Amino acid sequence: MSDKVISTPPHVEPVVFTRDMLDWLPWLEPMAEQELTARHMAGLVDAARAKSAYFRLLVRDPEVLEHRTKTDKDIFYNPEAGLPRAERELAAAATSRFNGCIYCASVHARFAATYSKRVEDVDRLLDKGVDTDLDARWNAIVAASVALTSTPITFGPEHVDALRKVGLDEASIVKACRPLMASFKVPRRVIEVTEWPMTESGKIQKHVLKARLAGSGESLIGATG
Amino acid sequence: MSDVIDTLAGIEPGSPLDAIRNGRLQARTHAQASYDSLFKPLTEADASKLERIAVACFVAGLHGRPEMEAFYGTALAEAGAPAAWKGAIAAAVTAAKGQGPYGHYPKGPLSAEDKAGPVFKIGAAERAALGARLAAAFEHTHMLVFHPRDAAPPYLQALVDAGWSTTGIVVISQLVAFLSYQIRVVAGLRVLKARPA
């Protein structure tokens, strides 16, 4: 084992935020593939990661890497609770854009663009930074990510309110509908109302709801859910 | 089952936040397992428990989170740290505290976004109290917490020069990464707790 800083081979360092695949090169010696034992393979979680210098460096502490990896996988991949994958990646991309890690930003921006299909919006976040205007929902997610990334942390009740206002928790409501409803009845958007407009005979006045919606700037057509 | 994050965020079994955390059981379980593997390691060869707890106290202090400082401060005392450490860590926190993230980008279009800020050098008295290894670990920790985009080989060389093994540097860096996560999860849950839907 060599305890020293290693020099990187000649390479072009990225100088802008990008969705491109970047070459991450270690400054400390990763483990050699032939050194990896069963304990290390368990730490890598995915056997294919034995090919990655990044993971072969972190696997020097196999238990720490294993639990970090399993936490990370649940945070990003678990479809059962929380945001759609695209918005989890958006939050991570905004975090990396704000703290300035070009490498991490490239990975999360790539996934955010792939899953949301909003390539131009993701690129605008990368080019202009975290203050750029995306849309109400993405702005709230980016602002919350920035507040949580700041040190000291500036995340507060105003961020929770802003997230709720743009429909966070909506995803879990939609998910709860899926097994219960025909697919065409599953809502694409969820909008909170404090009271229903009722007719005298006790029916919901749908035309009033439609009029409110028209005036709110929300659209049902082309909405994503 | 309640865990360290529940304790720090004040989450009661059966509460709405307990249910929310259970919705992400893998994240919940492995965050606790991350804590255990960092603070109850199989080996202390590359980073001792005391060193790990001292770094945790420093990270908690840099974030200005009283609940975290109290938790790791208690752990430090219970682990039998030298008497001088508590004061030395507090002095280092006072000297190192700031506002992040800041730092420099590689020369190019992003240079316009460069944001200057201090590079932390620990004081002589704190270095004497904590020793060369912890002094170097604190300087590295400050970079990771406040200006990670300044990361460069000299920061790692300083750790090697102070006697840290490659594995030890990985452990300390993972520790800072985990604490950054734990502190933010706890901060977020506390805000949610005070703001029920």
| A72 and A89 co-located in one domain | no
A101 plus A59 within the same structural domain: no
Residues with Cβ within 8 Å of A197's Cβ and at least 6 positions away in sequence, in order, are A204, A205, A208, A209
Q: What's the burial of A216, exposed, middle or buried (CB within 10 Å: 0-12/13-18/19+)?
A: exposed
DSSP for B52-76 reads HHHHHHHHHHHHT-HHHHHHHHHHH
For the stretch B137-189, pLDDT in tens is 999 999 999 999 999 999 999 999 999 999 999 999 999 999 999 999 999 99
A148 and B187 within 8 Å at the Cβ level: the answer is yes
User: B187 to chain A, minimum CA–CA distance in Å?
Assistant: 8
In B64-123, where does DSSP find H-type helix?
A: 66-78, 83-96
Confidence grade of residue A161 (pLDDT, cut at 50, 70, 90): very high
* CATH number of the domain that residue A146 is part of: 1.20.1290.10
Q: Do A28 and B166 touch (CB under 8 A)?
A: yes
Per-residue pLDDT, A184? 76
Say if residue A157 is in the same domain as residue A92: yes
pLDDT band per the 50, 70, 90 thresholds, residue A224: very low
The better pLDDT of the pair B16, B185 is held by B185
Work out the pLDDT band at A221, boundaries 50, 70, 90: very low
Which pLDDT score, from 0 to 100, does residue A136 have?
95
Confidence of residue A10 (pLDDT cuts 50, 70, 90): confident
pLDDT digits (tens, 9 = 90+) for B59-112: 999 999 999 999 999 999 999 999 999 999 999 999 999 999 999 999 999 999
Predicted complex: ipTM over 0.95: yes
Domain end among A165, A186, A205: A165
Closest Cβ opposite residue A80 in set B23, B99, B194: B23
Structural domain of residue B48, as residue ranges? 4-193
In this structure, are A131 and A66 located in the same domain?
no
Residue in A60, A81, A102 closest to B167 by CB? A60
In this structure, are residues A156 and A147 in contact, taking their beta carbons and an 8 Å threshold? yes
Chain A residues 62-101 with CB within 8 Å of chain B: 63-68, 70-71, 73-75, 78, 80-82, 98-101
Q: How sure is the predictor about A174, in pLDDT bands with cuts at 50, 70 and 90?
A: low
Residue A132 lies in a domain: yes
State the nearest Cα–Cα gap between A139 and chain B, in angstroms: 18
Number of domains present in the structure of chain B:
1
Tell me how many domains chain A contains.
Answer: 2
Any domain includes A89: yes
Mean pLDDT score of chain A:
89
User: What confidence category does residue A14 fall into, taking pLDDT thresholds of 50, 70 and 90?
Assistant: very high
Asked whether residue A206 is assigned to any structural domain, the reply reads no
pLDDT at residue A225, as a whole number? 36
**Residue A4 clears pLDDT 70, i.e. is over it:** yes
In angstroms, rounded to a whole number, what is the distance separating the alpha carbons of residues A99 and A102?
Answer: 9
**Could you tell me if residue A42 is inside a domain?**
yes
Amino acid at A181: M
Domain that holds residue A136: 85-165
If asked whether residues A110 and A157 sit together in one domain, one would say yes
Q: What is the C-alpha to C-alpha distance for residues A17 and A105, in angstroms, rounded to an integer? A: 7
Contacts of B190 in chain A (CB under 8 A): none
Are A140 and A110 contained in the same domain? yes
Please check the confidence at residue A194 and state whether its pLDDT lies above 70: no
